[in-house]
Amino acid sequence: MVSTSSASSDRDACRLEELGDSSEVVGSDIRVSVVVPALNEAANLPHVLTRIPSCVDEVVLVDGRSTDDTVGVARTVRPDIRVVMQSGVGKGNALACGFAAATGDIIVMLDADCSTAPEEIPLFLDALMSGVDFAKGSRFLAGGGSSDLTWLRTTGNAFLCGAANVLFRTRYTDLCYGYNAFWRRCLPHMSVSCNGFEVEAHINLRVARSGLRVAEVPSREQARLYGVSNLRPLRDGVRVLRTIIRERLRRTTTPGELDGWRPVFQEFPVGRGDLADTLISKPADSGADLVPGCPR
């Protein structure tokens, strides 16, 4: 089920102001993790990490072997941040490593380039606390928007979203946006096993096919603050189309396969967290499973 309620932008702004930094959005016994994949984002991270609201218990930065001071800056800005090294390449693998490392009951996906606003996190948490399994950001609902979408990306997203809605009988308004939050019980259904920017479509389609309860949340995408995006609209659009076709033809996942997505990852110890530090290897089934009370 996809909620597409048409709240006005003023109402959303008021709601955001109310919830913006409140730890009361979720119960005290519910932990919230934020996963931030990053590659050479040293200039952007101070503008992201300092804005994460207090209702977040854990921030996991997934570094893609940055050649700048991404990890050092993250440690300086937020000393309690957990830093893991992704095991492969691409945003999909980075998110999978972050999901495997996260210990929260709720996991939020946040970009490191300032395009997704941390102040919106409480809106996603509010949706999850209302009873849905997966809160999916949308730039095309009333109250949402983007200052970064080109005509080509807007047209491509509309075509791909329309195709997905026909093939999967969904009512998504945005297929390729990466601002999402979900209960960790969704992870086996998502089974993130792709590498590139098609990961958002991969997740959204698997969530829909699994019959999980989905609510769309209006979100405003901002332009990248510093640096150049690795997104290539034509190349990545083709990858999303292939993902749609592949997921439509894929047989239903059986319970025995549900944990096969978990990658091995390596975590920096507390400290500077640069490449000179010793990495702590984590097996594929580690992480939240070692913490009592965290449901799978």
Confidence (pLDDT) at 11:
31
Quick check: pTM over 0.85? Answer: no
pLDDT along the chain (296 residues), means of 10: 37 36 62 96 95 96 94 95 92 94 97 94 97 95 81 82 92 92 94 84 92 95 76 69 87 65 85 47 40 27
In the block, tokens 């102040």 appear at 119
Residue at 106: amino acid letter:
I
The first and second tokens of residue 248, run together, are 């439509």
Confidence (pLDDT) at 251:
77
User: Are 85 and 268 spatial neighbours (Cβ–Cβ below 8 Å)?
Assistant: yes
Domains of the chain: 25-267 (3.90.550.10)
The first and second tokens of residue 204, run together, are 């959204």
pLDDT 10s digits, 30-48? 999 999 999 999 999 999 9
Confidence (pLDDT) at 150:
73
Alpha-carbon distance 287 to 289, whole Å?
Answer: 5
Residues 6+ apart with CB under 8 A from 166: none
Alpha-carbon distance 30 to 194, whole Å?
Answer: 29
pLDDT 10s digits, 137-191? 999 999 988 876 677 778 888 888 899 999 999 999 999 888 999 999 999 999 8
